[in-house]
Every structure is written in structure tokens, then in C-alpha cells.
């Protein structure tokens, strides 16, 4: 990505804090870990030139020992991720709801570190897997660190943390053969999903385009659980947290996702890195949905049920701030790999609810860091250190980095003057919300969590035609990869409870019939979770027909900033046309890349040399948002000799992208599938660059989907 208008980077307090741990390589001498200068790091110490290596060789042993231990256990979920630094700014104080400094002080620039991830794949898996994306934000606030550990979908698969290991074991590669990697399309996942109807809501989101984002910068984020905001008077409100990307919510097609994984498995990671390096800083607005405590039981669903969203039609999202990511990590391992997010990290003014999934998470995240990062001092790793000062009597353990001074490590004490001393609530101490509890101890699920079908149906109804088609295709693909008919049948039967037409489409694709009843013995053995009748909507008070916020067709389509446009060129391309189109696109923040038959440089028709961004052999159409072919007879004649340019254009057409060509380049278009569809609303031959810009801002021409399937590439 080329440099655009680079915004000024202002250092946050956290970046300054991290600087003291940074180590420059430039102008340094190679030493051991003890500071001993080294004069040979290529040869081990031997008994003679052709002799055995000596145990004495401490230089060899130090180097190899360090190497042997370079890897730490990857995260059991969300192993594949990318991180970035930035800051959060508040537009307006919400002191009526929360006393948190981050929500009341509009002058603050709170440092953040964000890690985006996929869930199921290993650390080295491809970015474009069909999967939920993690969206974890660490706010280094003045009152302590707050971690909002969310996803890019507003709900979760299960209602109780107790089921999390089962969910993850079912989606991870099957244990006997460790197949498939980073894919939910296999029997064990659908065996589980089809017998746990609470998963169906998150599952239908995972079948939608949300699971294959165009960019990490173009997806929403959600805190998912209902949390509490607490104001100065101690009054609580329920709240859901939202991140809305300034660039809108956009996705690729499944066919593209599969090809992107082959062409550039780091597509999302690279896109995030490049955008930040180019000064095109990713931004999200932060919003809250607030529900007064008195309204806790007003809805058709339970606010404590993490498989339910609050439709924005019912409770609008109030935008209160913005997050900007403006700095890439200096070192992937030190920062992105070692960062530890804990939902239990909160600050005064924010509190938990009894959502049983959240309650379990409060245990799991600290526990997992102990084995992942090696011990209880993981909070002392530079990326995890709060910017707020920390003092307590916790001591020792693996990798203690601090040097606590003095005679005491207990409370109360007199020998250290009673320090570290306690604070009052009025001085900013944390105080758990005093929720009244008067209940029997039970192991079970509230009846108010039992409707598993209304919201998947609401989601599906709210989608545009093209989005619904993508969902049907995704179910068909995923179930088509399952080997066991009884699992597929059960899924068809469940999909039917969500939407009959959807089930019919999937059944047709699978070449199967929707069963009229389901194999009872299996259900009985498995228990109540599998009993669909128990999980029907029942009589609803105020159910919605549609919630427009759930459809990507209602997102923003007003910008082409950061979109990548491929210019297909060979020697002799028209400088005039190239310049006009490039200037127009770059003025709007798009990124132009020259794709030539070879690397190095290329000459336009005025004999000027231009640097080639990629040779046609090293790149693919799926890595771009749109295609332009400038004129220049010599150039077009040369392009026609390379079949990959035809394939490149056909793929862009198949994936519903905008394509523009100069009139002189029409002969190339005539060799492609576009030839028959020149009147398509996102095809421009000899038209103004502005028309092309407007089509790119629409992301895709989804009307083209109907014919896209027939394009062979
Ligand atoms: Fe989790 C990591 C998001 C439920 C147990 N989770 C993890 C990450 C994200 C989420 C984004 C990666 C953080 C990072 O980048 O380091 N998880 C969620 C969301 C959930 C959720 C949005 C439901 C609303 N998770 C959940 C449950 C459990 C866990 C119910 C266990 C009972 N999650 C973990 C974990 C991980 C984790 C095993 C792996 C690595 C880590 O924590 O630090 O503890």
C-alpha cells in the first residue's frame, strides 16, 4: 500500500511506557545474554577443525537453548491474530450512567491495544477462514486496565461457560486425524450444533458474510454480554457495547475467501499493517445500548442470555466515542502474542452481570494465561503492564520483573507505615455492585433462556436477498462437507424451524429431503438440549419483523478510502488516461497498483518509467477491490497475449466488482466474460473516472450474483 496523507502520530502514555523496553539493533555489537562480546556466531567450539563439538561451548548452548524455547503454547482458541496500538477518545460524557474516567473525561486520550483474531484455526492458519473474528480491546485507563474482550458478532454460540470446551472440541480439527484446519465444515461441529439448539443464532451469523470480512478494518465489534454501568450515586444501568467501523461493514464472497487463502494467507494481517503504515488509520466509533434496571424483564428474551442481541430498532445505539489505531507493534511476539486479555479486568463505573457465560469467562482467562505465559506475573510483561501505578503485597513467582523494596509484604502493617494503604470508594476504589440475591443453589438453565429460534429467524429475515443467498450457499457448503446423513438431516430439520425456504434451498443443494421427524432415541440419550419443541419462541409480546442494523446492505457506502485498485498495464499504456484515473482515485484515498507482465519498471506512451507494483504472475484478482485497464494500443495488444489478464478480469467480474476500461482497451474486455454484460451498472468502458469511484464505494454490484455463478474461472 502506498503512503497516503499520513496523519500525525501522537504518542500515548502506553507507547512511552513501552519505549523503555525497546531494544535497537542499529549500531549495536553482538553479545551473549550476559553482555559478553562475541566474535564468531557461525561455528561451534570443536576438538580440532574436523572434531566433535565440545560441551564447554557455552555460546552454542545459550543460542540453541533460547531457540529451543522460542515457542509458547498457542492460545487454545483465537490463536491466529493481529494487533495494533491506538487510542480512544470520548465525544461526550455519560456521567448519568457511569463514573468511569474513560466515560466521563472528554479531554483524555486513553491508550489502547487491540487484537483481532479468528477462533478455530492454529496460529499459522489462513486469515479468510469462515469464522467468528475476535475483537479484543485493552484500554490502559488512568484508573486501571479495562479489557473488552468481544467478537465481530453480537451474540455467542452457547449460554453457559460449562459448554465451552464441548463447543471448541467440536469445531477444532477432529482429534483422530487433526483435520480440518481452521474450518467448521465437518461432522463433529454439526453433530454438536445440531444437538445444541442454543448455537443456532451465532451459527447463522457464522454462515453469513460477517464470517468472511473484506478487512479487519471493516467489521463491527461487540462486547456481547450485557454489562452494567454504575454512576457516582451507585445507580446501575444495563449496557451492551458496540464498535462501528468508520469504513462500513463489508465482506468478500466465499469463492474469493477460498482463493485469497491460497494467494495471500496473511491477507487481513497485511491489510491492517499496511493501512497503519500508510497513515490510513483504522477507526471505529464506540456505542452503547442502555437499558434501565427497571426494564430488565421488558423484552422477549433475557438480557443475561448471551445468545440474544437487543435489536437496535428497540434500543438505538448511542455513539459516544471513537477508537483510532495508529501504530503497529514493534515486535509481534512481545506484544501481539504476549498480550493477555481478561474479561475480569474492569474499572470503577463498569461491572458484570450474572450472564452465566460471562461468569465462567471470569475464571477461564486468568487460568489460561498461567500455562500460556508461564506463571502469575504475566501482568508485568510490558504490553500487559497497566499505565496506572500498581502496589500490593503479591510477591515472587516465575519471572518476577519488579524489585519490591522493604521489609513488609502483608496487610495490615505498621513497619511500612501501613502501605500500600486502602482507598475509599469516594477516592476511586472499586466496589462491586450490590446486587440482591435470594435464591436456591441449582445446576440448571433459566426458562427465560429457552427460545432458540426467534432471533436466528429475525436475523435471516433482516438480510437482503443477496445476503440470504450467501447464507443458503454457506449452509450447503458446510453440510456438504459432512459425511454423516443423520447429522445433515437433523441440521435440515433445525434450519426449517428458522426458515422454510432456507431449508428447502439447502436440502436441494445437498440432494436430500427435509425429514418430517427426527431420530428420537438419539435425542433421548442426549437430553433436553436437543428437544426442539422446548426451544420454540412461544407467545411473543413485541417481536420485530426486521432489524435493519443486522443487514450489511444498510451499512455505509460513502468511501473508497484504502480500497485497492489494480491497473492492468504493459509497455506503452496511456499516460494521460492512467494519470487521470489515478489522480481521481487517490484523491478519494484509494490505493492504485500497477500490474504488469513483469516486475521492475514499465514505460508508458510518453516513455516515462513507472515502478511495477506486482507482476501478473505474483498476484491475483481476489487481492483487489476493482480493476482498471487504461488505453495505449501497444499495452493492450501485449496484455492480450497473457491469458492471466483475462482470468484476472473474469474473476473480478465473477466477484461482482467494479471494472473500468478505456475505449481503447475494449478489445481486452471483449475477450472476457464482461463482453456480454457491458450494460452492468458497475462496468464502465470509456466513462468518467467519477462513475467508477461511485461504483467502488458501493463495494460490490450484488445484482450481478445471478450471472456470476455461470462465469468459469
Ligand atoms: Fe474467549 C480467548 C472472545 C467465550 C475462554 N476469547 C478469547 C479471545 C477473544 C475471545 C476475542 C482472544 C483474546 C486475545 O486476542 O488474546 N470468548 C470471547 C467471546 C466470548 C468468549 C466474545 C463469549 C461472549 N471464552 C469464552 C468462554 C470461555 C473462553 C465461555 C471459557 C469458559 N477465550 C477463552 C480462553 C482464551 C480466550 C481459553 C484463549 C486465550 C486467552 O483466553 O487468553 O481463556
Dist. CA 136 → ligand 1 center (Å): 9
What is the reported pLDDT for 534? Answer: 76
The Cβ of residue 320 has, within 10 Å, a number of other Cβ atoms equal to 18
Can you tell me the distance from the alpha carbon of 380 to that of 186, in angstroms, rounded to the nearest whole number?
41
pLDDT at 101 over 60: yes
The residue to which cell 419462541 is assigned: 537
133 marked as binding residue: no
The answer to whether position 523 is within a domain reads: yes
The answer to whether position 302 is within a domain reads: no
The answer to whether position 185 is within a domain reads: no
Residue nearest to atom 7 of ligand 1 (CA): 78
Same domain? For 564 and 542 the reply is: no
Give the tens place of pLDDT for each residue, 139-159. Answer: 999 999 999 999 999 999 999
Interface ipTM? 0.99
Same domain? For 579 and 511 the reply is: no
Same domain? For 582 and 526 the reply is: no
Dist. CA 310 → ligand 1 center (Å): 22
Same domain? For 565 and 682 the reply is: yes
The answer to whether position 606 is within a domain reads: yes
Residue nearest to atom 34 of ligand 1 (CA): 365
- 378-392, 438-452, 659-673: the lowest-pLDDT one: 438-452
* Angle in degrees, 0-180, between the axes of helices 254-263 and 465-480, rounded to the nearest 10: 60
* Index of the ligand 1 atom closest to the CA of residue 342: 43
Give the tens place of pLDDT for each residue, 534-565. Answer: 777 665 555 789 999 999 999 999 999 999 99
pLDDT at 123 over 60: yes
pLDDT at 455 over 70: yes
229 CB-near residues (< 8 Å, 6+ apart): 94, 97, 98, 100, 103, 236, 237, 239, 288, 290, 349, 350, 351
What is the reported pLDDT for 532? Answer: 72
Can you tell me the distance from the alpha carbon of 438 to that of 93, in angstroms, rounded to the nearest whole number?
35
Q: Could you list the active site residues?
A: 78, 151
Q: Which three cell numbers stand for residue 492?
A: 435440515
Contact in structure between 581 and 630 (CB atoms under 8 Å): yes
567 marked as binding residue: no
80 marked as binding residue: no
Dist. CA 489 → ligand 1 center (Å): 31
Best probe residue, ligand 1, of 119, 120, 134 (max atoms within 8 Å of C-beta): 134
Same domain? For 548 and 489 the reply is: yes
The answer to whether position 665 is within a domain reads: yes
What is the reported pLDDT for 522? Answer: 55
Which of 536, 553, 570 is the last residue in one of the domains? 553
Tell how strand 591-596 and strand 564-568 pair up: parallel
Residue range 559-576: mean pLDDT, rounded? 98
The answer to whether position 317 is within a domain reads: no
- 342-346, 441-445, 523-527: the lowest-pLDDT one: 523-527
Same domain? For 579 and 695 the reply is: yes
| Single pTM value for the model | 0.96
Contact in structure between 217 and 337 (CB atoms under 8 Å): no
Which of 503, 525, 553 is the last residue in one of the domains? 553
Our count of domains for the chain comes to 2
Same domain? For 611 and 526 the reply is: no
What is the reported pLDDT for 521? Answer: 46
Residue 621 confidence class, pLDDT cut points 50, 70, 90: very high
Phi, psi of 239 (to 5 degrees): -150, 145
* Pocket flag, ligand 1, residue 282 (CB < 6 Å): no
Residue range 281-292: mean pLDDT, rounded? 98
Averaged pLDDT score across all residues of the chain: 95
Phi, psi of 696 (to 5 degrees): -65, -35
The answer to whether position 365 is within a domain reads: no
Can you tell me the distance from the alpha carbon of 467 to that of 204, in angstroms, rounded to the nearest whole number?
11
Which of 553, 573, 607 is the last residue in one of the domains? 553
Same domain? For 579 and 684 the reply is: yes
* Index of the ligand 1 atom closest to the CA of residue 135: 11
Same domain? For 591 and 690 the reply is: yes
Dist. CA 356 → ligand 1 center (Å): 14
Same domain? For 479 and 602 the reply is: no
The answer to whether position 532 is within a domain reads: yes
Same domain? For 573 and 641 the reply is: yes
Same domain? For 562 and 610 the reply is: yes
Whichever domain contains 647, its CATH number is: 3.40.50.880
Domain that holds residue 546: 452-553
Question: DSSP labels for 669-690?
Answer: HTTSGGGGGTTSTTEEES--HH
Say whether 302 sits in a helix, a strand or coil.
coil
* Index of the ligand 1 atom closest to the CA of residue 222: 22
Best probe residue, ligand 1, of 341, 343, 374 (max atoms within 8 Å of C-beta): 341
Amino acid at each position: 500500500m502506498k503512503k497516503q496523507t499520513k496523519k500525525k502520530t501522537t504518542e500515548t502514555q502506553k507507547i512511552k511506557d513501552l519505549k523503555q523496553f525497546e531494544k535497537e539493533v542499529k549500531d549495536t555489537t553482538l553479545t551473549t545474554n550476559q553482555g559478553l562480546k562475541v566474535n564468531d556466531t557461525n561455528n561451534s567450539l570443536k576438538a580440532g577443525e574436523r572434531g566433535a563439538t565440545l560441551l564447554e561451548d557455552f555460546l552454542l548452548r545459550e543460542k540453541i537453548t533460547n531457540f529451543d524455547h522460542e515457542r509458547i503454547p498457542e492460545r487454545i482458541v483465537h490463536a491466529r491474530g493481529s494487533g495494533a496500538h491506538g487510542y480512544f477518545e470520548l465525544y461526550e460524557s455519560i456521567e448519568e450512567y457511569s463514573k468511569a474516567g474513560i466515560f466521563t473525561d472528554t479531554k483524555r486520550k486513553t491508550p489502547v491495544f487491540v487484537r483481532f483474531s479468528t477462533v478455530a484455526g492454529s496460529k499459522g492458519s489462513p486469515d479468510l477462514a469462515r469464522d467468528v473474528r475476535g475483537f479484543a480491546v485493552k484500554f490502559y485507563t488512568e484508573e486501571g486496565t479495562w479489557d473488552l474482550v468481544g467478537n465481530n458478532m453480537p451474540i455467542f454460540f452457547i449460554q453457559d461457560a460449562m459448554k465451552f470446551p464441548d463447543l471448541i472440541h467440536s469445531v477444532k480439527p477432529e482429534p483422530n486425524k487433526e483435520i480440518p484446519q481452521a474450518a467448521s465444515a465437518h461432522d463433529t461441529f454439526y453433530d454438536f450444533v445440531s444437538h445444541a439448539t442454543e448455537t443456532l443464532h451465532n451459527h447463522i451469523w457464522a454462515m453469513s458474510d460477517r464470517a468472511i470480512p473484506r478487512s479487519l478494518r471493516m467489521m463491527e465489534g461487540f462486547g456481547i454480554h450485557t454489562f452494567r454501568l454504575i454512576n457516582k450515586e451507585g445507580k446501575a444501568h444495563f449496557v451492551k457495547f458496540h464498535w462501528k467501523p468508520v469504513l462500513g461493514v463489508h465482506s468478500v464472497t466465499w469463492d474469493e475467501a477460498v482463493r485469497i487463502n491460497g494467494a495471500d494467507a496473511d491477507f487481513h494481517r497485511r491489510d491492517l499493517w499496511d493501512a497503519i503504515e500508510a497513515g490510513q488509520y483504522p477507526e471505529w466509533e464506540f456505542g452503547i445500548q442502555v437499558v434501565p434496571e427497571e426494564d430488565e424483564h421488558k423484552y422477549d428474551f433475557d438480557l443475561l442470555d448471551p445468545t440474544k442481541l437487543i435489536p437496535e430498532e428497540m434500543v438505538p445505539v448511542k455513539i459516544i466515542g471513537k477508537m483510532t489505531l495508529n501504530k503497529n507493534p514493534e515486535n509481534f511476539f512481545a506484544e501481539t502474542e504476549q498480550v493477555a486479555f481478561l474479561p475480569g479486568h474492569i474499572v470503577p463505573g463498569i461491572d458484570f452481570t450474572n450472564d452465566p457465560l460471562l461468569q465462567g469467562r471470569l475464571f477461564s482467562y486468568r487460568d489460561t494465561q498461567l500455562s500460556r505465559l508461564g506463571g502469575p506475573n504475566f501482568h508485568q510483561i510490558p504490553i500487559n503492564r497497566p499505565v496506572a501505578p500498581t502496589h500490593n503485597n503479591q510477591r515472587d513467582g516465575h519471572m518476577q520483573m519488579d524489585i519490591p523494596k522493604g521489609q513488609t509484604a502483608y496487610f495490615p502493617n505498621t513497619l511500612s507505615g501501613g502501605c500500600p494503604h486502602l482507598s475509599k470508594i469516594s477516592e476511586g476504589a472499586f466496589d462491586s455492585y450490590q446486587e440482591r440475591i435470594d435464591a436456591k443453589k441449582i445446576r440448571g438453565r433459566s426458562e427465560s433462556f429457552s427460545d432458540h429460534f426467534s432471533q436466528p429467524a429475525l436475523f435471516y429475515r433482516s438480510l437482503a436477498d443477496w445476503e440470504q443467498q450467501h447464507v443458503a450457499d454457506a449452509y450447503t457448503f458446510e453440510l456438504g462437507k459432512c459425511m454423516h446423513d443423520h447429522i445433515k438431516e437433523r441440521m435440515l430439520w433445525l434450519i426449517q424451524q428458522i426458515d422454510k425456504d432456507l431449508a428447502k434451498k439447502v436440502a436441494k443443494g445437498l440432494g436430500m429431503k427435509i425429514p418430517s421427524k427426527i431420530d428420537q432415541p438419539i435425542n433421548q440419550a442426549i437430553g433436553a438440549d436437543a428437544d426442539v419443541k422446548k426451544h420454540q419462541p412461544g407467545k411473543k409480546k413485541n417481536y420485530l419483523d426486521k432489524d435493519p442494523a443486522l443487514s450489511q446492505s444498510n451499512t455505509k457506502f460513502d468511501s473508497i478510502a484504502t480500497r485497492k485498485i489494480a491497473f492492468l498495464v504493459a509497455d506503452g499504456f496511456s499516460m494521460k488516461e492512467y494519470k487521470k484515473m489515478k489522480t481521481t482515485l487517490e484523491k478519494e484515498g484509494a490505493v492504485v497498483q500497477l500490474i504488469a507482465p513483469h516486475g521492475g519498471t514499465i514505460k508508458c506512451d510518453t516513455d516515462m518509467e513507472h515502478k511495477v507494483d506486482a507482476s501478473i504472475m505474483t498476484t491475483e484478482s481476489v487481492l483487489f477491490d476493482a480493476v482498471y485497464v487504461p488505453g495505449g494500443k501497444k499495452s493492450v495488444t501485449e496484455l492480450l497475449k497473457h491469458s492471466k489478464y483475462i482470468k484476472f478480469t473474469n474473476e473480478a467480474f465473477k466477484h461482482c466488482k467494479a471494472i473500468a476500461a478505456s475505449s481503447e482497451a475494449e478489445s481486452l474486455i471483449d475477450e472476457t466474460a464482461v463482453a456480454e454484460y457491458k450494460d452492468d451498472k458497475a462496468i464502465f468502458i470509456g466513462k468518467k473516472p467519477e462513475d467508477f469511484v461511485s461504483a467502488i464505494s458501493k463495494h460490490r454490484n450484488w445484482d450481478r450474483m445471478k450471472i456470476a455463478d455461470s462465469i468459469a474461472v
